[in-house]
Amino acid sequence: MKMAFAIFWLPLIAGLLLGGLAVGAWYGGDKTLAIWVGFIGALCLLLTAALQLQQFVWGVANQPQITLEPDGSASWYVRWNPPSWMGIEINSDPNAKAGAWKVPGLILRNRGVVAQDATIKWGVTPFDREAMVKSAPRLSDVEATFPDKDQLLLRPKAGGQSFVHEFTWATSLPLPFIGRETQTYIPLHIWQNASLFFLATTPDRPDAVSEPFYFDAQVSWNIPDGGAPVRFRVAARARNVGLPTPGAPKFLAKIELSVSPEP
């Protein structure tokens, strides 16, 4: 606040000194006074420039410089294995036990100062889940209902154990610190939208690749103050790696992630 006050008033003072007092003194015959008044006015302009440069350094150079990238230390798989288990699962192990979810991880890298009291907000563009389920060939032989707009219940038509999937379009994760390298992840209830999309749309032929599913991520922080949030778009694609053999899951796909910065 004090710096903004100084940046506002210093040019006005400089203009008054240079354009008023210095000129008046010069033509009034007191050239010595005019020289020193002009000197002080020029100093005010130089001080204004220095303060503005300092604000730029504080606001840009002394801020976190954050990028986001996939965690290359693990692979990720979407699996669906009805009728024994109706959950559409994501895990780093294609043969994980039923009910063992593990969502894709990413890494925040920071080349600037440490960010504190930070948040990463995840979101996806809403789409018609019910219409997608109705048009999905893989789901034609199961009962698929929506007890709530953000819930999908899958049940074998012949009877058996059902499963309720929970969805959300957006959520935020707290990040107390963002240092040089910080692990983060796509929240499960956000990710479930992608799992449903891949199950419903990925072609059945081996090695077929789905259309991309997009996540939006926004990283913001409170310390240091004055920093603008940074935004990223994460693209996920599913590659069909399932085999048409007895006992194999009805759907198994390997997930490929890529990240691009957003303006």
**Exposed e or buried b per residue across 144-176, where buried means at least 16 C-beta atoms within 10 angstroms of its C-beta:** beeeeeeebbbbeeeeeeebebebeeeeeeebe
Using CA atoms, how far apart are residues 234 and 251, in angstroms rounded to an integer? 23
Report the Cα–Cα distance between both ends of the chain, in Å, rounded: 29
pLDDT 10s per residue in the chain (263 long)? 454 544 444 444 544 444 455 445 445 555 565 555 555 656 655 666 655 656 655 555 589 999 999 998 889 999 999 998 999 999 999 999 888 999 999 999 999 999 999 999 999 999 999 999 999 999 999 999 999 999 999 999 888 889 999 999 999 999 999 999 999 999 999 999 999 999 999 999 989 999 999 999 999 999 998 889 999 999 999 999 987 777 789 999 999 999 999 98
pTM of the shown model: 0.77
Edge to edge, the sheet with strand 105-110 lists: 66-70, 105-110, 181-185
